[in-house]
Amino acid sequence: MAKNKSFILMALKIGANHIGNGLLNAVDNANQPSDVVLSNVVASLKSGAFAAGKEIARERLGKLF
């Protein structure tokens, strides 16, 4: 159980790092229209969620093979 918890925390940290980096990039240019910033924020959230999911899938598939 502790191994699963530490793995999930690691996957969440990877996702959070992707989100954080994306958010920093999204607001890097203060002269962007707000719809562009919002679009970049949404893309960052999706990317972070995808990265966390990908890490979890990789771990689970690794246990199967």
Please give the biggest Cα pair distance in the chain. 50
- Looking at residue 42, its pLDDT comes to 92
Spans of all domains in the chain: 2-64
pLDDT in tens, 39-57: 989 999 998 899 888 888 8
Mean pLDDT of 8-27: 87
- The tokens for 4 are 């699963």
Residue 10 has pLDDT above 70, yes or no: yes
